[in-house]
Structure 1
Amino acid sequence: MEQILKQQEELLKFGEELLKESSKKMREAAGPDAWAQAYDVWMGFYKAVDWSERWIQCLLGFHVLTLMLALLTRKSESAQMAIFFPCMCLAFGAQRINALARENWKAFSTQDYFDDKGFFISVMMSGPLLCILIVVLVNFLLLMTSVMVTVKRAELKQKYGERRKQDKAAAAVGSGGSAGEAKGAATLATGNDTKKEK
């Protein structure tokens, strides 16, 4: 047992060192002005996009509507599934959608936003869809937890009922009755409890 604990401790130390080393390398790669660089990139993106284009407004509206729908139907598993799978398919097919849009951008846009790397489609379509998918998945976990609590409560009620019946049967035996009378009392108690439940 001690050997396993030592191995686990060594593994944890190795993981901690690896994490420290990788975070140090990431900080060095980003440089001291990483936040300023990120801000510049996002502001450049914001200024490069023509937010008055109808299709961009429709895309943003679609994301807002889908998120609202996901939140409003949070208690319905079937509605959540109906939201989850199309969003997942759209996020999964973002690369193909980007390629199609890159070929046909003149039909719906004033400028070509669709590069080979897919930065625009990732920010404008995949990112919001992934956020919506996370909301739906968290909701699924909450629904599952609620069902598990309900099942556990029902199980505890059933165990309590069985224990009560056994106590009644034991009380009948303890009051001087024979084993046959105790069995009859237990059967009678079970029959009465069944009638009460109906």
Structure 2
Amino acid sequence: MKFLLVEDNQELAEAVIGRMQLDGHVIDHADKIQDAIAFSETGEYDLILLDIMLPDGDGRDFLKQHRAARRNTPVIVLTARSQVSDRIGVLDLGADDYVTKPFDHAELQARCRAVLRRKAGAAQSELRMGDVRFDPVAGRLTVKDEVIDLRNRELRLLELLFNAPGQIFPKQKLVDRLFSYEEDVSENAVEVYIARLRKHLEPSELKITTHRGLGYRLDNV
């Protein structure tokens, strides 16, 4: 998954990024509202982690603008305000959840998973297609009862394809979803991960097909 973290505390931001990267997520980081707006208007994210008190304004203004633009990206607010009225306020503005600072990173990770499951409309983490079972939380792929542990980017790439079977993903879109803006990579990197997933799926009914000039698609054949 690709997240946008909007947080001006550099130490906290680095800690959150480090933990999320261990889970295989890609993180773009903005420390100002102005940068957060630029990221959200040009990138595609699965989740936004939003601080309230920022150097150039109030994160709630970003949230209001985000929802007014009919963007449905889930937002978890990171707030030092513990009053019930403050928490109700951000939920009423369109936040999907909130975490009160200081927070335990395991709790933040759990809340991220819960919000993403709600967005997908799935109460269970395991996904099934044909003779393949895929658990993106555990990072486990099961093909004909053989369990395969996936590397982080293999995991996130398969998650993208698995959640949209039949949809063609252009290479550049996959680059944008799998890597942060700070990483200098080419579309060839996507070909490497596609090749690895194809090898894992070889014994199954699922195939990743190439559509020349368009991109890749996951099919149940």
TM > 0.5? no
Greater fraction of residues in strand: 2
Greater fraction of residues in helix: 1
How high is the TM-score relative to the length of structure 2? 0.22
